[in-house]
Amino acid sequence: RRHGRASAFDAARLRPDPVVDRTMAKNALRVGKPVDLGADVPIFPPFALLFCFAASLAMWRMTGKRLRWLSWPVDSKWVRVAAFVGAVSVAVSVVDAAGKALRDAGSGINFVDVEGLATTFPFDATRNPMYACLLFVVTPALAVLIDSAWPLVFLPLLYAYISDIVIPAEENQLLAAFGKKYAEYAAATPRLSAMGLARTPPSR
């Protein structure tokens, strides 16, 4: 009897959960932290932003030209700080919502294994909500904070890296994992493009 009870317990413990129904795709992208030129994503995107900001400060120092671009009253220090804090708050809120959507789908924000496709807010507005915030909210906010156009000068470089290297790597991963399901989602949801957000097929 004792052996029978143990066997029944083991069988129950090993029985798969019938409620969980997620597509398993153990294929996390390799990402540089901060830099790995042989990785799928050579530079972790937030580090790419920091590199561009550091390059902006270096150019300001090397050329002696600040490239001020704000006028009164926006050029006031406290207005600039308040605008930066507000922009960062927006970015943090979007990242938090994106993280929740990814976790609910069975994935995560730090290039982990993909186990589900996130299509709820904010992924119902764009396929790349966190990158949109990094490019269109955080980078301009840094330019406002230091009242210098140098971060905007380097913005196209950062944009090209995100749009032409990072996003295609992610979309290839998702196409391999989810196939038609991801293709249909991509066809209905805009991604970052040269014109901002546009309805384009997934990168290949």
Tens digit of each residue's pLDDT (9 = 90 or more) over 105-159 = 988 888 888 889 999 999 999 999 999 999 999 999 999 999 999 999 999 999 9
**How much is the pTM?**
0.80
Q: What percent of the chain is modeled with pLDDT above 70?
A: 81
18-70 per-position pLDDT tens digit: 333 344 445 688 988 889 999 999 999 999 999 999 999 999 999 999 999 99
- Does pLDDT of 2 surpass 50? no
Distance from C-alpha of 106 to C-alpha of 125, rounded to nearest angstrom: 20
What does the angle CA 95 – CA 59 – CA 154 come to, to the nearest 5 degrees?
Answer: 40
Give CA torsion, residues 7, 10, 11, 17, to 10 deg: 170
Calculate mean pLDDT across residues 72-84: 94
